[in-house]
Amino acid sequence: MKNIKDILVLSDVDNTLLVADKGIPEYNIRMIKEFQELGGNFTIATGRSLESVSRFLDRIELSAPAIIYNGGVIYDFKNKMYIIKETLPENAKIALDIIRREFPDVGIEIMCDNNRLYMIRENAYTFKHVEDERLSYVSADISGIKNNWIRVLFADRNSRLLELQEFCRTLPFDDIEFIMTGTVYFEMVPKGVSKGSGLRKLCDAMNIDIKDTVAVGDYYNDIEILQTAGLSVCVDNAPQDIKNICHAVVPKCMDGGVGHLLAQIIKSSTT
- pLDDT for 57-67, tens place per residue? 999 999 999 99
The pLDDT tens digits for 74-118 are 999 999 999 999 999 999 999 999 999 999 999 999 999 999 999
Is 3.40.50.150 the CATH classification of the domain at 4-85+194-270?
no
pTM: 0.91
CATH of domain 91-190: 3.30.1240.10
Q: How many helices (H) and strands (E) does the chain have?
A: 9, 14
Domains of the chain by residue range: 4-85+194-270, 91-190
d(CA 118, CA 130): 11
pLDDT of residue 2: 74
Sheet (strand 117-121) strand order? 138-139, 117-121, 107-112, 149-155, 185-190, 176-182
Q: What sign results for the dihedral spanned by CA atoms 186, 218, 252, 266?
A: negative
